[in-house]
Amino acid sequence: MTRRVAPSSWGSRRRRPTLASWRTERAASLGLDGAEDLLALLINRTGFTDTEARIRLTQAANGDGAAMVAVADRLGAGGGDLTWSWLALAALVGDRAAGLQVASELMRRSEESDGSPRDARRLALVARTWLRPLVSEIADAFGPLRRQLFSGLAVAGKPLRSGVGPAATATEPRPEPDRTPDRSGEAAMVVIRGEVTAGFDDAADPGRDFAPLARPMPLLGGPAPAVLAATLSLEFPWLAEAIDAVTGDLRLRAAMGIPWYHCRPLLLTGASGTGKTAFVRRLAQLTGLGYGEFNAAGSTDNRLLAGTARGWAGARPSHLLEIIRRCGSANPLVLVDEIDKTEGGGRNGDIRETLLAMLEPSTAKGWLDECLCVPVDLSAVSWVLTANDTWRLRGPLLTRLRVVTAPPPGAGHLDAVLAGIRRRLAADYGVSEGELPDLPARIEAALRRACLKGSDLRRLRAGYECGIRSILGGRRHFTLH
């Protein structure tokens, strides 16, 4: 059974932050919800071209407070409100030193203000809200001495209470909320809708193995749609239509008060090397829903997707249930790669025909697993399929999919392409991005020329790796193969 929260009031919208919010809004007024909107705004307003700065921006987009401070340092004093907004955002996600910087700047402006006394008092008041969490933590650390140590501390001529002891009153600010995300989900769903009976021929007992799916499993949420869109746009700017398709669904669900993630079945089409698979994997990583992948290329049956019927030796349920069990969520993101290259249609079933019932919402709610012999609810799974073209998919399957074309990246996207290649290489080699050497200008120029000629991402990645090998090996010549 699915639990849902009540839809939010569409007419009552929270005021969205601006670049000036750090000096006009109290810290508590922004909060973590405001931080998500502020992050999306700052990503869209911050344009870096050099590799190191883009790495920091990507890390900041993923919620890294230290990277947010690094972005602010990179912008410097010339960044104005943009710089201070990055520091304020770092403070909102827990960087107390950044909060102290923001408070100090606000106090400086208050003392040097040429405006009205009212404006100066307002700046001082906002400064106190940014400073209060830091003072409270220090006060708590000193135990019984805190009142003595902080009794003389004043900001703008007023005592700054620590929130403890006799000085606390009913007007004291509420303690900051726990910043640990609640991934238990605000909704839950039972996947296996029935009792699995005994009757397996071998020692393996899928009914026992998959028993957790017969209990309510969480339906997970993730980052705000605006943050997700901004982060994906930073890393895959040439896939704007795919980003709009995914985040548009999430915005609609958020507006209706549905807290967990789900996207309508999507088919990404385009030539090889346009980043379709990398995009889906990155989407799964950013949302944290859990991820599974089926490679349909060359598939001649549907056994991995449909499972094996009870009675056969070694019968196992659908691998999709294994993905759900491994992820611990009822709404993972599942990729079916290269669906146009399947060779099914024989006596062992066709993966495309099996997908028909899994993609259709009405039948996905009660899809029969032939191994467990009970209906299972797959309606919360988010499906993304990839193909080079659609001519082999004409018919019922195509009608169940929203088709989006993935174009190749252009010359203007090279910085984002190289940043993504660098990030994936670092992950593959198990090192940080900073440990990879920077490409010399001559190698980057060769990659840029290749991008202008329409080289795909696989070729560009191979060229990037070749460039790194040439640097580490001391070679003076570089050729993009």
Structural domain harbouring 445: 411-472
Integer angstrom CA distances of residue 74 from 71, 87, 91, 396, 441: 5, 12, 17, 52, 21
One-letter amino acid for residue 369 of the chain: D
Domain count, the chain: 3
pLDDT in tens, 347-378: 666 888 888 889 998 899 988 888 788 888 99
**Within this chain, do residues 307 and 329 fall inside the same structural domain, yes or no?**
yes
Mean pLDDT for the chain overall: 77
**Within this chain, do residues 276 and 354 fall inside the same structural domain, yes or no?**
yes
What is the reported pLDDT for 380? 92
pTM of the predicted model as reported, rounded to 2 decimal places: 0.71
Query: 344 pLDDT band (50/70/90 cuts)?
Result: low
- Total Cβ atoms within 10 A of residue 206: 20
**Within this chain, do residues 147 and 237 fall inside the same structural domain, yes or no?**
no
Looking at the domain assignment, is residue 71 inside a domain? yes
Query: 314 pLDDT band (50/70/90 cuts)?
Result: low
Q: Which residues pair with 293 in a beta bridge?
A: 335
Strands (E) located in 246-401: 266-269, 291-295, 333-337, 367-369, 374-376, 382-387
Query: 243 pLDDT band (50/70/90 cuts)?
Result: very high
Q: Does residue 103 carry a pLDDT above 50?
A: yes
What is the reported pLDDT for 396? 87
Burial bucket for residue 123 (CB in 10 Å: 0-12, 13-18, 19+) = buried
Looking at the domain assignment, is residue 440 inside a domain? yes
d(CA 361, CA 417): 36
Per the CB < 8 A criterion, the answer to whether 38 and 30 are in contact is: yes
State mean pLDDT over 83-97. 87
Looking at the domain assignment, is residue 265 inside a domain? yes
Spell out the alpha helix ranges (H) of 401-456.
Answer: 414-429, 441-452
- Residue from 365, 361, 350 nearest 400 by CA: 361
d(CA 171, CA 162): 12
Looking at the domain assignment, is residue 174 inside a domain? no
How far, in whole angstroms, is CA 56 from its chain's centroid? Answer: 16
What is the reported pLDDT for 425? 83
Q: Does residue 184 carry a pLDDT above 70?
A: no
**Within this chain, do residues 302 and 420 fall inside the same structural domain, yes or no?**
no
pLDDT in tens, 252-298: 988 888 889 999 999 999 998 889 999 999 999 888 889 999 888 77
Q: Is 291 helix (H, G, I), strand (E, B) or coil?
A: strand
Per the CB < 8 A criterion, the answer to whether 276 and 389 are in contact is: no
Percentage above 90 pLDDT, the chain:
16
Which contiguous run of DSSP H or E holds residue 148?
helix 146-150
What is the reported pLDDT for 197? 63
CATH of the domain at 329: 3.40.50.300
Residue partners of 151: CB distance under 8 A and separation at least 6: 159
Lowest mean pLDDT among 204-208, 266-270, 303-307: 204-208
**Within this chain, do residues 389 and 429 fall inside the same structural domain, yes or no?**
no
d(CA 357, CA 344): 16
**Within this chain, do residues 390 and 436 fall inside the same structural domain, yes or no?**
no
- Residue from 355, 362, 463 nearest 414 by CA: 463
Lowest mean pLDDT among 97-106, 156-165, 277-286, 351-360: 156-165
Q: Does residue 159 carry a pLDDT above 50?
A: no
| DSSP class per residue in 153-192 | -EETTEE---S-STT--TTSPPPPPP-S--TT-SEEE-SB
Percentage above 70 pLDDT, the chain:
77
